[in-house]
Amino acid sequence: MLILLPPSETKRPGGRARPLDLDALALPQLRPQRDAVIDALVALSGDEETAARVLKLSARQRGEIGDNAAIREAPTLPAVDRYTGVLYDALDASSLGAPARRWLGAHVLIQSAPLGPVGALDPIPAYRLAAGTSLPGLPPLRRVWAKATTTALGEQSPSFVLDLRSEAYAALGPLPQASAPDATAYLRVVTDTGGGAVRALNHFNKHAKGELVRQLADQRPRIANAAAFCAWAEGAGLAVRPGAPGELDLVV
DSSP per residue, 158-195: -S-EEE---HHHHTTSPPPPPSSTTSEEEEEEEEEEET
Give the mean model confidence (pLDDT) for residues 106-122.
98
pLDDT at position 97 is 97
User: Minimal CA–CA distance to 223: which of 234, 231, 212?
Assistant: 231
- Of 88-97, 194-203, 211-220, which range is least confident? 194-203
Between residues 177 and 16, the one the model is more confident about = 16
Give the mean model confidence (pLDDT) for residues 179-202.
78
Element (H, E) at 239: strand 239-242
How far apart CA 46 and CA 204 sit, in angstroms, is: 38
Report strand pairing: 108-112 vs 116-119. Answer: antiparallel
* Residue 83 vs residues 7, 27, 64, 222: alpha-carbon distances, Å: 7, 20, 14, 26
How far apart CA 63 and CA 244 sit, in angstroms, is: 42
Give the mean model confidence (pLDDT) for residues 121-126.
98
What is the span of the domain harbouring residue 127? 2-251
- SS3 category, 28: helix
Contact 116, 22 (CB under 8 A): no
- SS3 category, 147: helix
* Residue 43 vs residues 49, 56, 234: alpha-carbon distances, Å: 13, 17, 50
pLDDT at position 179 is 72
pTM of the model: 0.94
pLDDT at position 178 is 77
Query: Does the pLDDT at position 195 exceed 80?
Result: no
* Cβ partners under 8 Å of residue 172, min gap 6: 111, 113, 116, 131, 141, 142, 145, 146, 149
- Of 114-118, 126-130, 188-192, 237-241, which range is least confident? 188-192
Contact 71, 112 (CB under 8 A): no
- SS3 category, 101: helix
Query: Does the pLDDT at position 194 exceed 80?
Result: no
pLDDT at position 198 is 65
pLDDT at position 54 is 97
Question: What would the DSSP string read from start to end of 104-139?
Answer: HHHHEEEEETTTEEEETT-EE------TT---TTS-
32-67 pLDDT, tens digit per residue, is 999 999 999 999 999 999 999 999 999 999 999 999
How far apart CA 53 and CA 25 sit, in angstroms, is: 30
Fill in the DSSP letter of residue 229.
H
Neighbours of 7 (CB within 10 A): 27
- How many folded domains does the chain comprise? 1
163 Cα distance to chain centroid? 9
How far apart CA 21 and CA 102 sit, in angstroms, is: 20
